[in-house]
Amino acid sequence: MATYDPLKRALKKEGLRYTQQRQSVWDELCATNDHRDAEEIYLAIRQSGLNVSRATVYRTIDVLVKNKMVRKLELGDGRARYEHKINATHHDHLICIQCGKIEEFMDEVIESRQDEIVKKFGYKLVRHIHQLFIICSECESP
């Protein structure tokens, strides 16, 4: 047990118990850098031989999102997608509306313009969503 164990730290902070199921959800989310939905996480865990329910997957993801270990993406297709935030810096997404591929981008100019816009209104920026829906090169010229 490492001294820096983000899952155990978060669970302790929330007054929650450490369980195999919660560990498996976190492990599976960290296993790739993809942007997967809850069902994909659920199936991947079961594929690996571990038992977990959909309800627990959803409940655990909520804890991880609340503790900023996981980011939730709503891409407008009715299913939320998730990505772990281990070693990740802030970025936004390009989504191919043809094949579903997701790429990441980050633009300092846009980030600071956002702050200025919000400041001009006299508001306080909490978070933002910036998604560029595109046709990727492979879908454009197959």
Partner DNA sequence: TATATTCTGAGACTCAATCTCAATAAGAAT
Partner DNA sequence: ATTCTTATTGAGATTGAGTCTCAGAATATA
Give the C-alpha separation, 69 to 14, whole Å. 13
21 binds DNA (CB under 7 A): yes
State the minimum distance, in angstroms, from the CB of residue 87 to Mn ion: 12
- Residue 99 binds which one of Mn ion, Zn ion, DNA, none, with CB within 5 to 8 A depending on kind? Zn ion
* Distance from C-alpha of 86 to C-alpha of 21, rounded to nearest angstrom: 20
Please state, as a whole number, how many other Cβ atoms lie within 10 Å of the Cβ of residue 19.
Answer: 13
Q: Would you say 111 and 89 are in contact if contact means Cβ atoms under 8 Å apart? A: no
Applying the rule CB under 8 A, the residues between 91 and 120 that interact with a second copy are 94, 96-97, 103, 105, 107, 109-110, 113-114, 117-118
Instruction: Confirm or reject binding of residue 43 to a second copy (CB under 8 A).
Output: no
Instruction: Select the binding partner of residue 42 from DNA, a second copy, Mn ion, none (C-beta < 5 to 8 A, by kind).
Output: none
Question: Cβ distance 86 to 19 under 8 Å?
Answer: no
Instruction: For residues 28 and 7, give the distance between their C-alpha atoms in angstroms, rounded to a whole number.
Output: 13
Nearest of 48, 53, 65 to residue 19 by alpha carbon: 53
Question: Which C-beta is closer to Mn ion: that of 5 or that of 37?
Answer: 37
Q: Does the footprint of Mn ion cover residue 28 (CB under 5 A)?
A: no
Residue 54 is a binding residue for DNA (CB under 7 A): yes
Q: Which residues are at the interface with Mn ion (CB under 5 A)?
A: 83, 104
